[in-house]
Amino acid sequence: MLFKNPSLLYGLFFLVIPIIIHLFQLRRFQKVAFTNVAFLKPLITETRKSNKLKKWLTLLARLLAIACIVLAFAQPFMTDSNTVQQEKQTAIYLDNSYSMQAAGSGGALYATAVNQLLEKLPADKVFTLFTNDRVYANTTKQQVANDLLNAGYSTNALTYAQVQLKAASLLDGRNKSRELIMISDFQRRGKETFPDTLAGFKRDLVRLVPEQLDNISIDTAFIASRNGNDLKIAVKLSTTTAVEQPITVSLNNKGTLVAKTSVDMSSKRGEAVFEINAKEPLKGELFIEDNGLKFDNHIFIATGDSSTINVLSVSDASATFLSRIFTKPDFKHTAVQSRDLNFNAIKEQNLIVLNEVKNIAPNLAIELNSFLRNGGYLVVIPHEDASGYEAINGLEKAVPASTIEKKVTTINTSHPLLLNVFSGQVDNFQYPSVSKTVWNTAGLSPILKYQDGSSFLYNKGNVYVFTAPINTDNSNFQNSPLIVPVFYNMGINSLPVVQLYYTLGTNSSIAIPTLIEDDQILNLKLDEQVVIPQQRGFNSYVLLQTDGALEQPGNYSILKDKKDIGTLSFNSPRDENIQEYFTANDLGSGLSENIDDLIYKLTQEDNVISFWKYFVMGALFFLICEMLILKYVK
């Protein structure tokens, strides 16, 4: 026989207490002389014997009752399994990703899993439970019941390899039996393969299968076009199966329905377009009605006052090509000759272009370095006789121009500046060339490269550097298809424009066109939830870094000294609406279809026979015996 709590057997020493009490109660009878009592002698003898028997029976009943109580708390059991004799640590992973909103036979998969856990787990079982965003270490079902019943769904879904590694970090006991129970729908994400069981772990899987796979999703929303005061917002939808009836897409603004439109989904994909007034800020929500997953039935969007990006070009050469690129309403472009530059205007800019300035004076370099430290962006197009550029942080000293002609042959399409410019592999492209180069630089962060591997355009921090002049005498770059996306994206990146919405779980850089003092901060508020994001103030804006800190989708108000100065929208990623799952063959052994089956299987594997209930009944029996002895034994 084995015991779950063998240390409680020390409680058997309490058996000494009733024995000591019994011994102290054994008092000798005192003889008292009395006349004419000879006829009482037989009765006195008989009474003494019965009292002794009654006390011994009472003592025995009490000893047995105490022994049964101690043994019941020690929880004796018998088993054929060797693993049960080891101390066991159990980790339970409960998937609370958005795919667990799908309906199963008993309702939403997550709600079904929680109810079955709270119903079937033994009340005295200690375990560690973790979800995608919460950890409950060394707990019982009574302690976590309220949290699990009231918990929401998580934006960030752990991969199954991460689940196992997290369980290994939570169960770090040595010389202990470690068990991991994974409760999930086991959705497959992309080409993910299901991991093997970690060494030293026993793994059991509970697969919850959705009954309905039909789902309609709002995938994305974006600004399709902007023409004066008219703004067109396009909304893309998808469905897992063809839908005969058109789907109605609605648009709310500040809780008021402002527009509806129908979308044909017979081809499993569709698009809706809404036209709104660009002058009126939008704090809206796009939504549809669908019986499938709920989280992708709506998407929050917001448009605020459009921010104009200030661009200053300082030139000793023609800058007409810059004026054609940096146009209103996105940009406010100011072009000056280097001799006419007002240093006070530098700090008001978001982007400064040094266009073939022959000499960088020391005081200009000081102002530019201060501009860079405060979050500004700089584009350097060198003069072929350049001097003084090394005084600008991040630049090397210019050398006499090389007259070897070079051709640009490589475009780094993965660089953030060109990330969304090309839809595929670049072939048969009209590459530009240069006649003279000022710098021969390799490495760093190249954007465009010559055929010899050196850089034609690279960036270092907030500085974009051309290694050769791009005037029409030295290069045909101004006639290349690359010039517009390169300079336009340089301007856009200098002040990250507020988007219609951002995705939760990602680190987004958001420039808010406002100024803050040293002791001021910006807050993001959703209902009663207030979040203070990472932020840094610059001369003309505040840069917010969400850093994945936000958890709930919605329209967040931007608060400055408790005053609402704008709106940022955040939505859940759409990865979870791809309803593809691992098969039973993929998951391998240790698979159960519900928690009932798992608990039964674990019980059968351990083959545990518990005796504590019998000892509780034994304790009650002997206490009853004691009362009967005291009442009826004379």
Percent of the chain with pLDDT over 70: 89
Confidence of residue 35 (pLDDT cuts 50, 70, 90): low
Q: What is the pLDDT of residues 492-541, one digit of tens each?
A: 888 766 789 999 888 888 888 888 887 889 999 998 889 999 988 887 78
Q: What is the pLDDT of residues 441-482, one digit of tens each?
A: 876 789 999 999 999 999 988 999 999 999 999 999 999 989
| 81 token code pair | 């399994």
pTM over 0.85: no
Q: What pLDDT sits at residue 469?
A: 95
Q: What pLDDT sits at residue 39?
A: 55
Report whether pLDDT(410) > 70: yes
Q: What is the C-alpha separation between 543 and 8, in angstroms, rounded?
A: 61
Q: What is the C-alpha separation between 553 and 566, in angstroms, rounded?
A: 17
Q: What pLDDT sits at residue 353?
A: 97
What's the rounded mean pLDDT across residues 98-126? Answer: 87
| 463 token code pair | 């500085």
**Is 42 in a helix, a strand, or coil?**
helix
Place of tokens 């994400």: 189
Q: At a CB cut-off of 8 Å and minimum separation 6, what does 94 contact?
A: 110, 113, 114, 117, 129, 130, 131, 148, 183
The contacts found for 316-324 with CB under 8 angstroms, 24 or more apart, are 316/355, 316/356, 316/357, 316/358, 316/383, 317/355, 317/356, 317/383, 317/469, 317/471, 318/471, 319/353, 319/355, 321/478, 321/483, 322/353, 322/355, 322/487
Asked if 459 contacts 494 with a C-beta cutoff of 8 angstroms, the reply is no
Burial class (CB in 10 A: 0-12, 13-18, 19+), 20: exposed
| 298 token code pair | 């709506």
Q: What is the pLDDT of residues 329-385, one digit of tens each?
A: 789 999 999 999 999 999 889 999 999 999 999 999 999 999 998 888 999 999 999
Domains of the chain in start order, with CATH, are: 2-28+37-79+612-632 (no CATH), 83-212+579-607 (3.40.50.410), 216-306 (2.60.40.10), 309-494 (3.40.50.880), 502-571 (2.60.40)
Place of tokens 């029976």: 57
Q: What pLDDT sits at residue 517?
A: 83
Report whether pLDDT(394) > 80: no
Q: What pLDDT sits at residue 71?
A: 86
Question: Which of 487, 485, 509 lies closest to 422, judged by CA?
Answer: 485
Q: What is the pLDDT of residues 529-567, one digit of tens each?
A: 899 999 888 877 888 988 777 888 999 999 998 899 899
Place of tokens 């921090």: 461
Confidence of residue 175 (pLDDT cuts 50, 70, 90): low
Q: What is the C-alpha separation between 422 and 429, in angstroms, rounded?
A: 11
Q: What is the pLDDT of residues 274-308, one digit of tens each?
A: 998 877 889 999 999 988 888 899 999 998 766 78
Which residue has better confidence, 603 or 570?
A: 570
> b/e string for 445-463 if b means 16 or more Cβ within 10 A?
ebbbbbeeebbbbbbeebb
> Of 221-230, 520-529, 572-581, which has the strongest mean pLDDT?
520-529
